[in-house]
């Protein structure tokens, strides 16, 4: 049991999927896992453990932004020995070739600042995904008939961003999409010798203004969850 996770050792699997929204964690666990049990509800940040094709899996909400995700990932690694951590979440598309409902598999995650910036100081560290997970996720997506976008994303530390010039530079440099957590996840995984990946569904687009209605988001997010699960156990 930790400050933010009210579970006992053994309640979490070594593989953990991390949606930001705790209710999306509940939906994913009830939809894709068998023998599901809730293992955390501290501060309403729900966590569940079950099995997928006989493999133990946990799904834990991580909240919004890198500071929140950093709390849960640190505790999952330090106190529950999580070894494979995959973010499953939404993102905003940034390139014209990226469409709403598309899947992005993040190879790298650029950021202005993260909770790890105070440790890294003047170093411009380049957070990246675990190669074995990334390759397995691409294979899983293609096996489903999907054509995922693979490349760099931008992890912003602000949701209501008032820096259109910064977004323009992200687009100019080929960044596929923007979200708020992956850069810190990749950095923590590297620090502790764990595997990490972000598999994202494009829910809106910064250039076109198109957005998925809320009632269509869960249906579109199903592919992302299954890709993540296949990647974890390939």
Q: Report the binding-site residues.
A: 4, 20, 24, 43, 87-90, 179-181, 203-204
Is residue 204 annotated as part of the catalytic site, yes or no?
A: yes
Known binding residues for a purine D-ribonucleoside are 4, 179-181, 203-204
**Of these residues, 41, 79, 157, 204, which one is catalytic?**
204
Known binding residues for phosphate are 20, 24, 43, 87-90
CA 50/CA 48 separation, integer angstroms: 7
Q: Can you give the three-state secondary structure of the chain, one letter per residue?
A: CCCCCCCCCCCCCCEEEECCCHHHHHHHHHHHCEEEEEEECHHHCCEEEEEECCEEEEEECCCCCHHHHHHHHHHHHHHHCCCEEEEEEEEEECCCCCCCCCEEEEEEEEECCCCCHHHHCCCCCCCECCHHHHHHHHHHHHHCCCCCEEEEEEECCCCCCCCHHHHHHHHHCCCCEEECCHHHHHHHHHHHCCEEEEEEEEEEECCCCCECCHHHHHHHHHHHHHHHHHHHCC
Q: Distance from first CA to last CA of the chain, Å, rounded?
A: 30
Q: Which residues are part of the catalytic machinery? A: 204
């Amino acid at each position: 049991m930790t400050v933010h996770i009210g579970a006992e050792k053994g309640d979490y699997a070594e593989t953990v999927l991390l949606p930001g929204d705790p209710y999306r964690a509940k939906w994913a666990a009830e939809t894709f896992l068998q023998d599901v049990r809730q293992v955390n509800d501290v501060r309403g940040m729900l966590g569940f453990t079950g099995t997928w094709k006989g493999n133990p899996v946990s799904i834990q909400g991580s909240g919004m932004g890198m500071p929140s995700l950093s709390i849960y990932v640190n505790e999952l690694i330090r106190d529950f020995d999580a070894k494979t951590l995959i973010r499953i979440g939404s993102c905003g598309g940034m390139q014209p070739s990226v469409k709403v409902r598309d899947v992005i598999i993040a190879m790298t995650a650029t950021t202005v600042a993260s909770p790890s910036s105070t440790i890294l100081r003047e170093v411009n560290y380049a957070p990246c995904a675990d190669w074995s997970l990334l390759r397995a996720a691409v294979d899983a997506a293609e096996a489903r008939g999907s054509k995922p976008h693979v490349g760099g994303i931008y992890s912003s530390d602000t949701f209501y961003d008032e820096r259109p010039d910064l977004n323009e530079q992200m687009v100019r440099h080929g960044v596929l999409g923007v979200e708020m957590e992956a850069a810190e996840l990749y950095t923590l995984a590297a620090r502790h010798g764990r595997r990490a990946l972000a598999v994202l569904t494009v829910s809106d687009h910064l250039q076109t203004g198109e957005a998925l209605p809320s009632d269509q988001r869960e249906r579109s997010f199903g592919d992302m969850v299954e890709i993540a699960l296949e990647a974890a156990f390939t």
